[in-house]
């Protein structure tokens, strides 16, 4: 069987003293795409931040393992160096810092940590041209301040572009579909699909089946109130879409200790 | 496992505090000729005599000294500091050896400037690469070396120490000295006029575009010494000069006093670009030592369509009191002020600019970027004054503050005085903190926390850095990084 890349073991986490994740377990093997679906406030975004080490989120129990080793003690950048990537739901703007300058620094920081030679400006630009085509990102955006004045669709495509540049082992995509029209959604999904490989795994967080029509997942998990209440194959997405989350809430209530 | 596990992190403040070490803090044992501490008329006479000055200049100094004695130290800046003992300062220190050529410059001095990255050798132009910078090096009270003088003289450009200018071109000095900053202008300017020891002098004749950056590098080396230099730059009709100024000082546990004056005069269609990277010793983490930096800088756009542009990057000094200003006298003249000021640990800064619009259709731009970290306190203080005859005058002001950590402060005090209804004055201000989400985003992409902060700060300063000559912009970015080390998180 292929290697387990990311494993969440009975994970508990809180923010500002409020428990959000209440015993969540999940395992992603190489080559797999998992989707986590759930209603608002079920803990979906918290999950993405806890995996990648946001300092505002406190893990109170359980473990996050990357390739078999706990990464809870690692800084966000150390996790990134190991190959964890988060596509943000709402990417921040950084005025005065061009996308190219930022991304070249990021790519080289990651390469350094992996003992790979750094890219010079020419090699970086070649790679950037190639990868930006993947999500049809206007090359002009590379010289603009990071995400500043970008449309919602441009921000999302910029996230996938960065993912392509950084070549992560495990990618967490936090609602890559939010705010996108059908055409933009297809571009983002196609970009993500192009990055699937037998060596990588992805965790896609979404509300809607719509995304999964374009970006098919091997496993679907339904997250309610900080716990996974149901897991299944691709057909589960259709059920959720048809029935909403009400049944899942009941299931969660029933499962509560 | 991992009951209390949290991602390892340090606060920005801790980082700045631990790593923000001043790398120019060495001092060099050079034999110096210096006055004992104390200030009276005899000291003023001594300095003037030491420099072999003409009578008119001594009289000017004495008038300034008498005016200073009647003046009171300003108390309006938005900071407080212990009283300065003006009698406890030595007002003249000079290296004993007076060099006639570079060969005679004390090797210790050459080495010291080399260590600071300031070349005093006129290196041969390699493979057709023209030198891009000429340097006047001022150590304590005197200029020790000015490079490329001969080459500049071929174009009629005068670039020399102030003392040499007094001897060689007294008519020019006499005509312009005090014409922009009078000897009675303010407490510190009067003190400077009385005891200034040296500085730089630049004259660019009509229609000449100065082919290289002119640079003065100031270094306070002697302990317990004040530095009082004066810079005078005159640019004739249609001429252009870009001038750079850099400053460092050794780490001393006592405060060092620096009170400089800079006067700029731009005739019709002339342009003066004046850039400063100020990195005087800022004191230690607890605020011991450091330079008290009280500087009066002012330019006069005398002729029509003239332009004066101040760009400053201020990361040093325990206290900074400084308002590079423009008097826009010529019609259609332009004044600009681009500033990045950083206060970390216990540093205090009250800085800004004054734009005095006198002529018709005069324009001014003010872009001020203040960064406060540690327990630093910083005030932007600016005046935009549009006078009655300044028909059609325009000003644009933008003041942005960036706060790092919770113990620092930023204050903005813009004064606007409009006496003409046809004027347009715009003011924008913002204050922000480096966001946890911005830091997390960059760190998630693999950047260290320090690199992430540095990137955000550099982005914040970009509008100002792009005004700096390229070599200086690189230096400024590096300096900002060093000054912020240990400050961010």
Q: What is the pLDDT of residues B418-428, one digit of tens each?
A: 999 999 999 99
What Rg value do the Cα atoms of chain A yield, rounded?
A: 18
Q: Is A85 helix (H, G, I), strand (E, B) or coil?
A: strand
- Among partner residues B6, B438, B448, which is closest to A94 by beta-carbon distance? B438
pLDDT at B111 over 70: no
Reported as half-sphere exposure (CB side, CA atoms, 13 A), residue A62 has a value of: 21
**A161: Cβ contacts below 8 Å, ≥ 6 apart:** A131, A132, A134, A135, A137, A191
Comparing A8-12, A240-244, B136-140, B410-414, the range with the smallest average pLDDT is B136-140
Shortest CB distance from A54 goes to which of B3, B440, B449? B440
Q: Is the pLDDT score of B101 beyond 60? A: no
Contact residues, chain B, for A166 at CB < 8 Å = 445-446
Search chain A and give the residue with CA nearest B437: A92
| Residue B316 φ/ψ, nearest 5 degrees | -105, -165
What does DSSP assign to residue A141? Answer: G
Q: How confident is the model at residue B78 (pLDDT cuts 50, 70, 90)?
A: confident
What pLDDT, on a 0 to 100 scale, did the predictor assign at position B16? 35
Q: How far does the CA of residue A112 sit from the closest CA of chain B (Å)?
A: 10
- What is the C-alpha to C-alpha distance for residues B404 and B15, in angstroms, rounded to an integer? 11
The residue ranking higher by pLDDT, B429 or B226, is B429
For residues B238 and B267, what is the distance between their CA atoms, to the nearest angstrom? 8
Each residue's pLDDT, cut to its tens digit, for chain A (257 residues) gives 689 999 999 999 999 999 999 999 999 999 999 999 988 888 999 999 999 999 999 999 999 999 999 999 999 999 999 999 999 999 999 989 999 999 999 999 999 999 999 999 999 999 999 999 988 888 888 889 999 999 888 999 999 999 999 999 999 999 998 888 888 899 999 999 999 999 999 999 998 888 898 999 999 999 999 999 999 998 888 888 788 777 767 766 655 44
Chain A residues lying within 8 Å of B440, measured CB to CB = 54-55, 76
State how far residue B484 is from chain A, nearest Cα, in angstroms. Answer: 18
Contact B455 A102 (CB under 8 A): yes
Distances (CA, A) of B377 to B14, B289, B304: 17, 17, 39
What pLDDT score was predicted for residue B142?
58
| Other beta carbons less than 10 A from residue B172's beta carbon | 16
Report yes or no: A13 and A46 within 8 Å, Cβ to Cβ: yes
C-beta of residue B377 within 8 angstroms of C-beta of residue B343: yes
CA B472 to chain A, closest CA, distance in angstroms equals 18
| pLDDT band, residue B6 (cuts 50/70/90) | very low
Indicate the SS3 state at residue A236: helix
Checking if the pLDDT of B110 tops 80, the result is no
In this structure, the number of other CB atoms found within 10 A of the CB of residue B106 comes to 18
Residue B469 Cα, gap to closest chain A Cα (Å)? 18
CA dist B287 → A202, A245, B254, B342, B344 (Å): 51, 60, 10, 15, 10
How far does CA B79 lie from the centroid of its chain? 19
Cβ contacts (< 8 Å) between A89 and chain B: which residues? none
Complex-level ipTM? 0.95
pLDDT at A137: 87
Residue B10 has pLDDT above 50, yes or no: no
pTM, two decimals, is 0.80
Q: Which residue of A has its CA nearest to B1?
A: A62
Q: Output the furthest CA–CA distance in chain B (Å, rounded).
A: 84
The average pLDDT across B348-372 equals 94
> What confidence category does residue B4 fall into, taking pLDDT thresholds of 50, 70 and 90?
very low
Whether B335 shows a pLDDT value over 90: the answer reads yes
Choose between B84 and A117: higher pLDDT. Answer: A117
Interface mutation target, options B12, B445, B463, B467, chain A, most CBs of A under 10 Å: B445
All residues of chain B having their beta carbon less than 8 Å from the beta carbon of residue A170 are none
Among the partner residues A53, A63, A107, nearest to B2 by beta-carbon distance: A63
Cβ–Cβ contact B11 with A under 8 A: no
Q: What is the rounded CA–CA span in Å between residue B355 and residue B323?
A: 10
Q: Is B329 exposed, middle or buried (0-12, 13-18, 19+ CB in 10 A)?
A: buried
pLDDT of residue A251: 65
Phi and psi (nearest 5°) for B363? -130, 145
What is the CB-side half-sphere exposure of residue B150 using CA atoms within 13 A? 2
User: What is the average per-residue pLDDT within B377-382?
Assistant: 89
| 3-state SS track over B309-323 | EEEEEECCCCEEEEC
Question: Of the given ranges (A98-102, A220-224, B399-403, B485-489), which has the lowest mean pLDDT?
Answer: B485-489
User: H or E element: which one contains B69?
Assistant: helix B55-70
Pairing of strands B334-343, B307-314: parallel
Q: Are B413 and B384 in contact (CB under 8 A)?
A: no
Query: Would you say how long chain B is, in residues?
Result: 489
**Euclidean distance between CA atoms B217 and A53, whole angstroms:** 46
Phi, psi of B482 (to 5 degrees): -60, -45
Average pLDDT over residues B344-354: 87
Cα–Cα distance for residue pair B372/B51, rounded to 1 Å: 42
Does B343 have pLDDT greater than 50? yes
- Which pLDDT band, with edges at 50, 70 and 90, does B208 fall under? very high
Distance from CA of A169 to the nearest CA of B (A): 13
Phi-psi region of A96 (alpha: psi -120 to 50; beta: other; left: phi over 0): left
Q: Do A94 and B441 touch (CB under 8 A)?
A: yes
pLDDT (mean) for B262-287:
88
Q: Which residues have a Cβ under 8 Å from the Cβ of B110 and sit 6 or more positions away?
A: B102, B120, B121
Q: How far is A226 from chain B (nearest CA, A)?
A: 18
Min distance B437 CA to chain A CA atoms (Å): 7
Alpha carbon separation from A157 to A172, A204, B292 (Å, rounded): 15, 15, 51
- B420 in Cβ contact with B387 (< 8 Å): yes
Q: Which pLDDT score, from 0 to 100, does residue B221 have?
A: 61
> Which of A56, A101, A109 is facing B436, going by the closest CB pair?
A56
* Closest partner CB to A105 (pick from B437, B438, B447): B447
Q: Is the confidence at residue B25, as pLDDT, over 70? A: no
Decide: helix, strand or coil at residue A5: strand
Which of the residues A8, A56, A69, A94 would you substitute to probe the B interface, choosing the one with the greatest number of B C-beta atoms within 10 Å?
A94
Is B447 part of the contact surface with chain A (CB cutoff 8 Å)?
Answer: yes
What distance in Å separates residue B442's CA from the closest CA in chain A?
A: 8
As a whole number, mean pLDDT of residues B64-69 equals: 94
CB-based contact A96 B444, cutoff 8 Å: no
B459 has a chain A CB within 8 A of its CB: yes
Note whether A96 contacts B461, CB cutoff 8 Å: yes
- A vs B: CB pairs below 8 A: 109
3-state secondary structure of B45: helix
β partners of residue B307: B271, B334
The β-bridge relationship of strands A4-15 and A18-29 is antiparallel
* Phi, psi (deg, nearest 5) at residue A164: -65, -40
Confidence class for position B148, pLDDT limits 50, 70, 90: confident
Residue from the list A59, A88, A106 with its beta carbon closest to the beta carbon of B447:
A106
3-state secondary structure of B291: strand
| A60 contacts B3? CB cut-off 8 A | yes
Please tell me the total number of residues recorded for chain A in this structure. 257
- B465 neighbourhood in chain A, CB within 8 Å: none
pLDDT for B127 equals 43
| pLDDT over 70 at B380, yes or no | yes
Whole-angstrom distance, CA of residue A212 vs CA of residue A209: 5
Q: Residue B80 and residue B74: Cα distance in Å, rounded?
A: 11
Nearest to B443 among A58, A75, A102 (CB): A75
Whether B446 and A73 lie within 8 Å, measured CB to CB: no
SS3 of A166, please? helix
- For B442, nearest residue in chain A (alpha carbons): A106
Tokens of B179: 């014409």
In chain B, what percentage of residues exceed pLDDT 90? 42
Angstrom CA distances, A94 to A194, B371, B461, stand at 28, 16, 12
pLDDT of residue B13: 37
Is a pLDDT exceeding 60 seen at residue B402? yes
Distance CA B432, CA A93 (A): 13
Q: Name the pLDDT band for B14 (thresholds 50, 70, 90).
A: very low
Question: Within 13 Å of residue B313, how many CA atoms lie on the same side as its CB?
Answer: 29
- Report the SS3 class of residue A176: coil
Tokens of B82: 């212990």
CB contact under 8 A, A53 and B458: no
CA distance A17 to B323: 48
Q: At what angle do helices B187-195 and B55-70 cross, to 10 degrees?
A: 150
The confidence score (pLDDT) of residue A220 equals: 94
Backbone angles phi, psi at B454, to 5 degrees: -60, -40
Q: What pLDDT is stored for residue B387 in this prediction?
A: 96
In chain B, the percentage of residues whose pLDDT exceeds 70 is 78
Q: Does B6 touch chain A (CB under 8 A)?
A: yes
A76, B437: Cβ pair inside 8 Å? no
Question: Is B1's pLDDT higher than 70?
Answer: no
Rounded mean pLDDT, B388-409: 91
Distance CA A78, CA B116 (A): 35
- Average pLDDT rounded to a whole number, residues B448-465: 89
Residue B28: the pLDDT is 59
Q: How far is A144 from A155, CA to CA, in rounded Å?
A: 12
Judged by CB atoms closer than 8 Å, whether chains meet at A59 and B445 is answered as no
Cα–Cα dist A251/B279, whole Å: 65
For A197, how many CA atoms within 13 A lie in the half-sphere containing its CB?
Answer: 11
B163-191 pLDDT per residue, tens: 999 999 999 999 999 999 999 999 999 99
H helix runs in A114-245, sequence order: 121-134, 152-166, 182-194, 209-214, 235-243
* pLDDT at residue A41, as a whole number: 85
Question: What residue ranges in B323-362 does DSSP mark as E strands?
Answer: 325-328, 334-343, 348-357
């Amino acid at each position: 069987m292929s290697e387990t890349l990311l494993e969440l073991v009975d994970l508990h986490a809180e923010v500002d003293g409020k428990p959000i994740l209440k015993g969540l377990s999940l395992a992603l093997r190489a080559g797999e795409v998992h989707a986590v679906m759930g209603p608002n406030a079920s803990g979906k975004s918290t999950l993405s931040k806890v995996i990648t080490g946001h300092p505002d989120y406190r893990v109170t129990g359980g473990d996050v393992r990357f390739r078999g080793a706990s990464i809870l003690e690692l800084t966000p950048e150390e996790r990134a160096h190991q190959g964890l990537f988060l596509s943000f739901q709402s990417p921040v703007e950084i005025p005065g810092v061009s996308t190219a300058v930022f991304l070249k620094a990021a790519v080289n920081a990651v390469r350094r940590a992996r003992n790979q030679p750094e890219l010079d400006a020419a090699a970086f630009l070649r790679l950037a041209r190639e990868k930006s085509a993947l999500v049809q990102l206007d090359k002009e955006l590379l010289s603009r301040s990071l995400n500043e004045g970008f449309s919602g669709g441009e921000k999302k495509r910029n996230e996938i572009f960065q993912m392509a540049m950084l070549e992560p082992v495990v990618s967490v995509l936090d609602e890559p579909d939010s705010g996108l029209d059908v055409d933009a959604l297809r571009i983002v999904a196609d970009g993500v699909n192009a990055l699937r490989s037998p060596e990588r795994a992805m965790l896609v967080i979404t509300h809607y089946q719509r995304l999964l029509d374009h970006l098919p997942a091997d496993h679907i998990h339904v997250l309610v109130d900080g716990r996974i209440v149901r897991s299944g194959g691709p057909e589960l997405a259709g059920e959720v879409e048809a029935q909403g989350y009400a049944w899942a809430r009941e299931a969660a209530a029933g499962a509560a200790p | 496992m991992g009951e209390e596990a949290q991602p390892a992190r340090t606060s920005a403040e801790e980082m700045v505090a631990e790593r923000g070490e001043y790398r120019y803090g060495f001092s060099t044992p050079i034999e110096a000729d210096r006055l004992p501490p104390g200030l009276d008329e005899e000291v003023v006479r001594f300095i003037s005599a030491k420099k072999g000055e003409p009578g008119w200049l001594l009289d000017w100094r004495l008038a300034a000294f008498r005016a200073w004695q009647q003046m009171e130290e300003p108390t309006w800046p938005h900071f407080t500091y212990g009283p300065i003992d003006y009698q406890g300062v030595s007002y003249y220190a000079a290296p004993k050896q007076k060099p006639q050529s570079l060969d005679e410059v004390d090797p210790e001095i050459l080495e010291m400037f080399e260590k600071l990255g300031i070349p005093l050798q006129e290196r041969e132009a390699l493979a057709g690469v023209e030198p891009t910078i000429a340097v006047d090096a001022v150590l304590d009270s005197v200029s020790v070396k000015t490079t490329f003088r001969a080459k500049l003289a071929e174009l009629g450009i005068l670039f020399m120490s102030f003392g040499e200018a007094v001897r060689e071109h007294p008519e020019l000095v006499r005509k312009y000295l005090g014409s922009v900053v009078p000897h009675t202008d303010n407490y510190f300017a009067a003190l400077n006029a009385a005891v200034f020891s040296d500085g730089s002098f630049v004259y660019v004749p009509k229609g000449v575009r100065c082919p290289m950056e002119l640079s003065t590098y100031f270094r306070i080396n002697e302990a317990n010494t004040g530095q009082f230099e004066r810079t005078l730059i005159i640019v004739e009709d249609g001429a252009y000069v870009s001038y750079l100024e850099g400053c460092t000082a050794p780490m001393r546990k006592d405060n060092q006093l620096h009170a400089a004056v800079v006067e700029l005069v731009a005739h019709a269609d002339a342009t003066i670009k004046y850039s400063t990277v100020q990195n005087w010793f800022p004191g230690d983490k607890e605020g011991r030592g450091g330079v008290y930096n009280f500087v009066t800088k002012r330019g006069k756009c005398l002729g029509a369509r003239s332009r004066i542009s101040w760009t400053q990057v201020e990361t040093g000094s325990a206290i900074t009191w400084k308002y590079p200003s423009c008097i826009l006298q010529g019609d259609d003249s332009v004044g600009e002020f681009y500033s990045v000021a950083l206060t970390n640990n216990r540093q205090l800064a009250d800085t800004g600019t004054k734009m005095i619009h006198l002529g018709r259709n005069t324009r001014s731009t003010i872009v001020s970027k203040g960064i406060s970290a540690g327990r630093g306190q910083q005030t932007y203080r600016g005046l935009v004054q549009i006078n009655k005859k300044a028909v059609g005058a325009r000003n644009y002001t933008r003041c942005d503050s960036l706060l790092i950590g919770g113990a620092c402060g930023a204050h903005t005090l813009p004064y606007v005085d409009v006496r003409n209804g046809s004027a347009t004055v715009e003011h924008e201000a913002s204050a922000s903190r480096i966001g946890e989400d911005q830091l997390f985003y960059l760190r998630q992409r693999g950047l260290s926390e320090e690199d992430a902060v540095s990137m955000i700060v550099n982005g914040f300063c970009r509008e100002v850095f792009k005004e700096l000559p390229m070599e200086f912009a690189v230096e400024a970015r590096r300096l900002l990084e060093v000054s912020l080390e240990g400050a961010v998180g």
